[in-house]
Amino acid sequence: MENKASAKDFFLHLGVIATLYAIVISFLNLLFRIINKAFPEVAQNIYAWGAGSEISLPVATLIIVFPIFAILSYLAYKTYTETLDKKEPWIRKWLVYITLFVTGIVLVGDLVMVLYKFLDGQDLTSAFLLKALAVLVTAGCVFGFYLQDTREKISSKVRKMWLIGVGIVILISIILGFSILGSPQTQRLIRYDNQKITDLQNIQWQVISYWQMNGTIPTNLKELEKTQQYILPTDPQSKTDYEYKKTGEMTFELCSDFSSENMTNQNNMAVAPVNYPVKGGIIQNENWNHKAGRQCFERVIDPVAYPTQVRG
């Protein structure tokens, strides 16, 4: 009898595969963040996706999408086991073989990347090897399961054991993620700190812009509002103004209170280069690294990089 697939079958099986992909991607994202925290790289890019505190999205995705995947998988399996003419609908075959194809490419690509870094003489760091292993094991499990499924070698009992096992692994990864990276409250405090850094960076650029237009830096931040129509940001946590202090003709200081330590912020595009001389002294190039508590950032404007527009 010809295999049939209704619109319901189409979206049911499409939902199974879509939720599977979402689970795998979120699971690997969560593992990568745990690995990054446990085995930090020497140099990190502040603009890299996932920098900072974001485990909320993969965790939320796993918590919501995994039960949906389990329900859809059950309904799909029930459909093609109870109805003979729907045992092997074309949509299921296509989606399963696409999944096998994708996971196969991921497995090969993962092995190629490990071998490439080895042959190229690059450091095989613990973080890289753990990430490669995570991808290898995850893709291998997906590939192995669906390969056996296409051969009808997975019984209903084994299918349930797979589902329970995956659920336990996901639960452990979520618990591990929160234990290493912090609770939701900790993540909220980190977001506050990240926003403070962003606000201070914006203020810094406004001070530089003021310097370029006026040949001097403002005495206080209120001058920025008057001359540049700049709306000053406030501390998102305390709702107070940020601290600013003019310390010299081309130097100033920005201060704020932070809830946690972050020693990986490397962005400092608006300050003078290392060993830039200022009136007989040397001001070193600083970044946005900070410890918990009150932290001040001393800045000096580089007149070469940011020349003033005022003619003497």
Residues 197 and 265: beta-carbon distance below 8 Å: yes
DSSP output for 162-180 = HHHHHHHHHHHHHHHHHHH
Q: Which residues fall within 8 angstroms of residue 307, CB to CB, at 6 or more apart?
A: 212
Q: How far apart are CA 85 and CA 79, in angstroms?
A: 10
The pLDDT averaged over each successive group of 10 residues in the chain (312 residues) is 62 84 89 81 41 68 89 79 59 78 84 79 80 89 85 81 91 86 79 91 90 88 80 90 91 92 59 40 59 91 82 58
Confidence at residue 80, expressed as pLDDT on a 0 to 100 scale: 65
Q: What pLDDT is recorded for position 252? A: 93
Other CB atoms within 10 A of residue 187 CB: 18
Contacts of 271 (CB under 8 A, 6+ apart): 204, 285, 286, 299, 300, 301, 302
Residue boundaries of the structural domains of the chain? 7-182, 189-300
What DSSP letter does each residue of 196-252 carry, written as one string? HHHHHHHHHHHHHHHHHHHSS--SSTHHHHHHH-----B-TTT--BPEEEE-SSSEE
Q: Return contacts of 179-182, CB within 8 angstroms, 24+ apart.
A: 180/34, 180/37, 180/38, 181/33, 181/34, 181/37, 181/53, 181/55, 182/53
